[in-house]
Structure 1
């Protein structure tokens, strides 16, 4: 029997995942709008046989905080992800291309069209990270005075994804004979008009893009709330999670997998991939030195600002050297509760909390040699805390190259990771089935 293999995504922030990455001497300061930089990253990740590269997105930033934000590159001066991935599709041949796109401030028809197009351009390598947006400032860019409530956001999202997948099934796979002799371009019996009328959306269809090579592009979900887990169980092929403790990761993993049966799905149809910031060194001391160097580059006011965004409340009023307060996060996003739980578990001060979120942005941080990091990844994988990981190198491009050159061979030597791509599409490489068209016999 073939030994199961980890799935790996490379999470690309412009200069790196660490909040202070752009200040590092080896960082590319203009990375957000430097296409050559992104091409280099995509090719490094493909050389490392990663399943996908992943581009996050946010539709705005808090301009009122510009006195603080001028010290950071988060969500500022960077490419729109679908445009970027379309360019990278032509510079790569195997690696998946995943982008965050929100259901709160876009329309289902446009979304279906964009990802179907990217799937054709890339030969079946596109993936949609479904988000509902977490920040109030985004609503102000789309004619709203305030954001949707969490319950309404996920209710809209469920209907939104249902429409998008329905539009992807507008055409059967063999709907386009394109027969010049007979003059028949498409078979009208293999056209299915959606005619959706729901609580939040009315979408007639049909989609004017042929069925994607993957049937449906891969669907990713990153929320950990109850509605988010239900959305994952119904539609997702990949779940990006943010646990920092193996016990919590195992609990989340089991919870998500247990929800699949009621949607007629099995556990292999979804891959749980926690985020991991791996700080790799030739020795543990070398890795710790690299990490400490980055932590020292975070201005306290910037770290506090990021912690406030994570907690969705003003944390600057608390003494940074005092224990993290047990504030009420009822109605906040799940990341706020996770941060409180971690602070309590580790006896963090406010400063500890903002340093943690500045490093991994709420994700698991592992500092050590390639062997140390592989040990931890193997433990989570074998203990059913993860099917793989969304790798978050601290500084680009150097730390991605080091992961590929040092950690990937260590994983391969243990039989935990591929030595070549298994297929041509992202679904084939992830090991998730291509969905049959509903009209197929």
Structure 2
């Protein structure tokens, strides 16, 4: 049976192409949604870009017919702008205030009542990213769904970059002797390039080994990194050791790191970047950037020059740099960085249009990036550059992103089969016992 899907504004602002995601069913866009989209067109961020894109898409449909009638879509479905069914009669006793959300609910409810009077009426389903709109719909007896088509991966299937494998103790000894093992000799499982494997004794002994799958996927090899202290930082657990391996490998151009607060993502990346750019001179510059997305209420406009305006947003990066440079006086880190032209702390606002060759690039809080934004960043990377994307998908401050559709998860999933990329999920917090407890309990 064909269905009628009524789309909320946030669905279109999250994914302009969501119109084509409902197969051969009918898609209805309430007129109030067009008004909300129009109000967002002037925004100079991802929401504004999507609003403008939705406007152009819908304008293009006018060539196929009248928008208040059914317009055929390429996938066999139909699109309609709903101008009628705006009556508030069915909602006025429950939701008195005529907000935009309630108007969208009114359209869905009236459509549903109309379809119920038909002999072969279609079920009406409201699609919204707003949980409370779905709750309201349920209170009105409406079917409501979240828009899940934009999710990169399903629950519990996010790539961790790490696997465990139980093998014979003889094979463990052989791995230490030869420095590598052919995967076909120890398992039938498939592994991605640069994926880490913890090999354990299948008989329960204490012998174990850590290896990384080489680019062809045929061999697992010893780690190159030997756990020496870098800029006063030494890995404290196995995942941090794996992260440092990825950060220091010249043949891995893209590194993604996922972990809760306090797992050491930023500190490890900065230490590796300083070593590569300052000590080894493998890169001309260390560029550190993060998106400007507030955790709580926005600070608003800030006084001063660009660097002064950026300081509150990039302060966590400065905190880590102060630790690495072992500064003791207030403002000392600013003097150090002013004398080191090879270190640049920037906001992602200014990255569009740039080309960044021969640089070690660190993008912090990448979970707050959309798919389009992360594509923009990666396409800025020039020759002989290395980029690190890191963050915690469980701590997202962007209104239209979640753990499964953000830019960091998107890149992790799309690049896991590529030989130039590596990924690791950090599990254990090392900031303090209190920070780890807070990350687990809260």
TM over 0.5: no
Point out the structure with the larger helix share: 1
Larger Rg: 2
TM-score by length of 2: 0.26
TM-score by length of 1: 0.26
Point out the structure with the larger strand share: 2
